[in-house]
Chains A and B, each alone.
Chain A
Amino acid sequence: AQSVAQPEDQVNVAEGNPLTVKCTYSVSGNPYLFWYVQYPNRGLQFLLKYITGDNLVKGSYGFEAEFNKSQTSFHLKKPSALVSDSALYFCAVRNRDDKIIFGKGTRLHILP
């Protein structure tokens, strides 16, 4: 069965510093991997995805993620954090049966 793990419930980063939000996955076959962001009292917004091709994927708001097949990871990164990046971030995986499973989420706090 497919699964997604986000090992950190919360990540604190100082504004201007680089940030990383971790995600590992388990799925049979080639995975489709996604990152979503949720702001308070809002739905989830799509940030970026990996389907195939270049392992480094760029997305919205300056975020990027690196697909690492050997480590089954898809960590979210940003070179310089903004206070406005503070939100709840979800990693998700979709496989051939089209079911999309989300991790538990990581709350990102950017400290001014």
Chain B
Amino acid sequence: DAGVIQSPRHEVTEMGQEVTLRCKPISGHDYLFWYRQTMMRGLELLIYFNNNVPIDDSGMPEDRFSAKMPNASFSTLKIQPSEPRDSAVYFCASSFGNTIYFGEGSWLTVV
């Protein structure tokens, strides 16, 4: 299996622009997680889905952030409008059973 696939790997955007991060989970996995990693706050759980349904979005920082999972093989995390403080590494992860597997991350810089 190719693992969890994220795109883009790197993105630099200007403040105020819309950013869309994409994730393809491992085939057959029924859970999908979005995490954000920063030096200051470590690894934060933003939202997670079970069978394409959002279960807990309490970690989403504010209304500028939204996530969707239209089908079992695709999810997006959108930031609109983006701000410099959104600069971070965004990880997607998926699981079937107990262990979750991470993608390589999307490195976002908002200038």
Contacts and interface: CB of A to CB of B under 8 A. Distances in A.
Interface of A: 32, 34, 36, 42-46, 49, 51, 90, 94, 97-105
B65 interface: no
Given A43-B104, A43-B105, A99 B45 contact: yes
B98 interface: yes
B55 A45 contact: no
Interface in B40-88: 42-43, 45, 48, 50, 55-56
Contacts of A42: 104-105
A45 B102 CA distance: 7
A102 B43 contact: yes
Contact of B43 (A34, A45, A90, A98): A90
A100 B31 CA distance: 11
Contacts of B93: 44
